[in-house]
Amino acid sequence: MKTAILEEAHLAAAHELERLCFTNPWSEDALTHLLQEGNFGAVVLVGETVAAYAGLVVALDEGEITNVATHPDHRRCGYARDLLRFLLAEAARRGLCRVTLEVRESNCAARSLYDSLGFAPCGKRKNFYSHPREDALILEKML
């Protein structure tokens, strides 16, 4: 297992993870936004296979984690934690002072993971998610 920066060669696999994990997946074209100046993503590679990916979009000195997706066959292996630690370390290395993300209010597993990494609630987005409709909690971590 290896965690690395997301590269163009990983986009098709990241898109497939989007389709497997989310009701409203990002398109492969939308994922190219993570390769644009300032933004970045990370992948967990098991051999040559992209087992998980996450992205972070940068605005000035702040970042927003976009999605964290792990292939169903690779869940409960700690890959999401590895990705988040990697993204947070890279964000700090790049001089960001704050990272935020949104999470479904009912997603207890993700919320527990984010809490264990030092994220704290800072707001809510009413009806942010669809399929099913649900509020999002906004979490932040100061770096």
Residues involved in catalysis: 102, 114
Tokens of 143: 């770096």
86 to each of 43, 117, 126, 127, how far by Cα in Å? 9, 12, 30, 30
- Residue 105 · residue 131 · CB < 8 Å: no
103 to each of 5, 37, 125, 129, 139, how far by Cα in Å? 23, 25, 10, 9, 8
